[in-house]
Each structure stands twice: as C-alpha cells, then as structure tokens.
C-alpha cells in the first residue's frame, strides 16, 4: 500500500496517525508512507523522528473574530489545495488518511477532488471544524466515540476507536517502580497535565503534598518541562515524602502506564484511548480552554460508564484532589470495578479496525 497521511498541530492528531502506520508496517511489508503537515505544527519534529518522510504545506486556521487575517487564511487555503494536489499526483497514493488539524482539510479535500480513496479519523466526542467540512467529500469516516456518530452524514461512519489504544495495549512492559526508587507493591497514582504541564493541576498538587506525605500510596507527579522550576519553587520549605516522586516529564510513558493504578490528568482523546485500553481508573480534569469544550464531553462519556471520576478545573484544589485520590487509592474494590468499566469502553484493535475502513474506501474506487 502507498499511504498518504495528513494530520497536525497537536499530538492528539499526530499520535493516532503514527500508531496506525506502525501497525500497517507489521501487516504490510511493502508499505510506503508519506506524511503531509506544516512547518509550525508538532508533526515537523515528531514525524521525522519516527522515521517517516514529511512534506509540508503552508496553511493557518480561521480567527473566530472578524479579522483581516481571515482573508490571508482563505488565500493560503486555496494555494494549499493546489500544493496538496501536486504532492498527491507525485506520490500516487492508494489511500489518503486524515487525522485532523487544518492541514488535513486541504490535503483530504484535494485528494477527494482527484478521486483518490479518502478516510478521516475523528478522535473526540465533539467533531472538529475540519472534519465536519471534510465529511461531505471523503469516502469513509472513522470515530473514537459513539457520541460523534450523529454529527456526521449517515452511511459513512464506522466506530474504530483510537489507534493509540492498540499501540499501548499491545506493548509488553518490563518497567518496575523500583527503577525510580519507589515500591512495586504499593498503589501508585500518576499525575500528568500534558507535556507542557497545567498550572491549575500543578498548584493543586503542591497544595496536596503535605497530605500525600501521610498516605500509604505513592504519587508520581510530572509537572511539564516548562513548569518544573516553578513547582519546585512553590515547594521550597515543604517536605516531600519518599512516597512522592516529582519529574519534569515522563519519557517512557507507554512502558510506565501498565504499572499505574490511578491516573490524574486531562481528557484529551489520546489520554482517553490509553486509559481505557489499559483499564486504568482515572480522575479527569478537562481543559476548559479547548474548542467546543470537547474534553468535558470526552470525560463525561467515561464518567457515565463509571470508568472515571471528573473534577472541573474551577473546583480543583489540593483538598478536592486528595479527596478523589483517597476514594480510589484506598478502595481496592472500587478501583477494580472502574478498571473493568474502562476496559469495556477501550477498543484494543483500533488500528486494525481503521485499516479495514481504509481498505473499504479503496474498494469503492
């Protein structure tokens, strides 16, 4: 298969694409992949680091308020379609997969107009603007949340889950907490606000540290690379117990996750895919700064299935964090029931399902 993939801006669009590429390489030794992104998005670093060829086009998103920049956006969009068509003609893909972000809008639209088989993957429960636009042109649509089904045209939609789920579920972990100076026989909670960290989450943890010191469970806290020094400054003069480990970032997250008993963090699509695939009970703190409040709706889907607890950021502080943590880490049966509920939501063959959708799109042409 010759596969052209486009998706960018954030890791939530990029990692599902890389996951399905990884799986395709296992089942199709003749696979040839080209990734189309932008120079400004995270894909510019992540994709080449994964050993995948990347080409870039120039595009930007619309401003939500009236702005002269929107005229430039329209001009860039029209030019980007022309650039995308040239890339597609040169590469001659069998199928084009879009995983979201503005860049995929140009690429998938261009591919559809060139009558190339096209598939889009929507990771969130609330459909993004780009995928809503593309849904009228592409052959097939894959979703990760049932809540997204009715937001797309009927007859094109298949529930696949998020390919990141299969990637973490298939991984064999040899990680031990002793590698980080902790104990393997003690319930352990991971607190992770994303690669950049989340100020409100970080502040709540620093408030909770004196209480966490007294607990019989362990806490691993990733502050985010840019916020580590601020957190350590806030903790100056505060005792940090041997059961608490503070790091700027967790590099080996896929290896570490299977050993986590409870995870605290945002409710992005990739995080949801990981915790449900592995059956990790979670305390979700949706970011209020995302489009259409989609993280709240992602989290609510898990809460409704008794697979997670949720704390709104406006209600988050040291006391509310400790209360939620205690309710899970001091109750083995509650954790077990939430783990079972999470696994029922998780789709551990998501990459295989998405590959089947791509084959279906090919068969239409």
Lowest mean pLDDT among 192-196, 243-247, 330-334: 192-196
Q: Which strands, in side-by-side order, build the sheet including 157-159? A: 53-56, 32-37, 2-6, 95-98, 118-122, 140-143, 157-159
Pairing of strands 244-247, 140-143: unpaired
Predicted pLDDT at 72: 62
The mean pLDDT of the chain is 92
195 vs 222 pLDDT, higher one: 222
- pLDDT above 90 covers what percent of the chain? 75
Supply 105's token pair: 């809008």
Question: Domain span at residue 39?
Answer: 2-162+348-363
Q: Which strands, in side-by-side order, build the sheet including 188-192? A: 244-247, 218-222, 188-192, 262-265, 282-284, 308-310
Q: Does position 150 have pLDDT exceeding 90, yes or no? A: yes
Residue 289 and residue 226 share a domain = yes
Taking residues 251-280, report their average pLDDT: 92
Residue 250 and residue 101 share a domain = no
- Backbone phi and psi for residue 245, each to the nearest 5 degrees, phi listed first: -120, 125
State the Rg of the chain over Cα.
Answer: 21
Tally of structural domains, the chain: 2
Predicted pLDDT at 345: 87
Taking the C-alpha atoms of residue 129 and residue 132, their distance in angstroms, rounded to an integer, is 5
Residue 197 and residue 150 share a domain = no
Q: Which candidate, 288, 313, 325, places its Cα nearest to that of 201?
A: 313
Residue 176 and residue 133 share a domain = no
Residue 11 and residue 132 share a domain = yes
Which residues, listed in sequence order, are joined to residue 157 by a DSSP beta bridge? 141
Which residues are documented as binding site? 10-12, 124, 195, 250, 295
Taking residues 215-226, report their average pLDDT: 94
Residue 233 and residue 110 share a domain = no
Element (H, E) at 282: strand 282-284
Lowest mean pLDDT among 126-140, 191-205, 263-277, 344-358: 191-205
Which residues, listed in sequence order, are joined to residue 244 by a DSSP beta bridge? 219
Taking the C-alpha atoms of residue 175 and residue 149, their distance in angstroms, rounded to an integer, is 38
Taking the C-alpha atoms of residue 122 and residue 157, their distance in angstroms, rounded to an integer, is 10
Residue 10 and residue 74 share a domain = yes
Residue 212 and residue 115 share a domain = no
Q: Does position 215 have pLDDT exceeding 90, yes or no? A: yes
Q: Does position 20 have pLDDT exceeding 80, yes or no? A: yes
pLDDT bracket for residue 203 (50, 70, 90): very high
Residue 307 and residue 194 share a domain = yes
171 vs 267 pLDDT, higher one: 267
Residue 325 and residue 187 share a domain = yes
Predicted pLDDT at 128: 87
3-state percent helix, strand, coil for the chain, nearest multiple of 5: 50, 15, 35
- Residue with tokens 């022309």, as numbered in its chain: 82
Q: Does position 69 have pLDDT exceeding 80, yes or no? A: no
Q: Does position 78 have pLDDT exceeding 90, yes or no? A: no
Taking residues 161-189, report their average pLDDT: 91
CA distances from 216 to 187, 242, 334 (A): 8, 11, 17
CATH number of domain containing 205: 3.40.50.2000
Residue 92 and residue 180 share a domain = no
pLDDT tens per residue across span 293-308: 889 999 999 999 999 9
Q: Does position 65 have pLDDT exceeding 60, yes or no? A: no
Taking the C-alpha atoms of residue 28 and residue 18, their distance in angstroms, rounded to an integer, is 15
Residue 201 and residue 142 share a domain = no
53, 33 in Cβ contact below 8 A? yes
Taking the C-alpha atoms of residue 131 and residue 133, their distance in angstroms, rounded to an integer, is 5
Which residues are documented as binding site for UDP-N-acetyl-alpha-D-glucosamine? 10-12, 124, 195, 250, 295
């Amino acid at each position: 298969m010759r596969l052209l993939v486009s998706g960018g801006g954030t890791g939530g669009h990029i990692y599902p694409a890389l996951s399905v590429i990884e799986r395709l390489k296992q089942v199709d030794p003749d696979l040839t992949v080209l990734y189309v992104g932008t120079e400004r998005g995270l894909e510019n670093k992540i994709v080449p680091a994964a050993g995948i060829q990347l080409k870039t086009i120039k595009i930007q998103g619309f401003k939500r308020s009236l702005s002269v920049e929107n005229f430039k956006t329209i001009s860039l969009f029209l030019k980007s379609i022309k650039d995308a068509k040239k890339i597609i003609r040169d590469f001659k893909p069998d199928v084009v997969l879009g995983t979201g972000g503005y860049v995929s809008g140009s690429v998938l639209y261009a591919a559809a107009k060139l009558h190339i088989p096209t598939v889009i993957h929507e990771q969130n429960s609330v459909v993004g603007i780009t995928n809503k636009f593309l849904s009228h042109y592409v052959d097939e649509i894959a979703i990760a949340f049932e809540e997204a089904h009715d937001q797309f045209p009927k007859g094109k939609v298949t529930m696949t889950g998020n390919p990141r789920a299969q990637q973490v579920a298939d991984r064999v972990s040899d990680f031990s907490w002793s590698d980080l100076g902790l104990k393997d026989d003690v319930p352990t909670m991971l607190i992770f606000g994303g690669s950049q960290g989340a100020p409100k989450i970080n502040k709540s943890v620093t408030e909770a540290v004196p209480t966490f010191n007294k607990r019989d469970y362990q806490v691993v806290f990733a502050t985010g690379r840019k916020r580590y020094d601020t957190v350590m400054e806030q903790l100056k003069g505060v005792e940090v117990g041997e059961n608490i480990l503070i790091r700027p970032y967790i590099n080996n997250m896929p290896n570490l996750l299977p050993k986590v008993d409870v995870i605290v963090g945002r409710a992005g699509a990739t995080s949801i895919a990981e915790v449900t695939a592995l059956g990790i009970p979670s305390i979700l703190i949706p970011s209020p700064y995302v489009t259409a409040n989609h993280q709240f709706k992602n989290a609510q889907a898990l809460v409704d299935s008794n697979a997670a607890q949720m704390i709104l950021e406006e209600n988050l502080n040291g006391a509310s964090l400790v209360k939620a943590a205690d309710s899970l880490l001091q109750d083995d049966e509650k954790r077990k029931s939430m783990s079972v509920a999470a696994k029922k939501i998780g789709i551990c063959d998501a990459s295989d399902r998405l590959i089947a959708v791509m084959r279906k799109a090919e068969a239409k042409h």
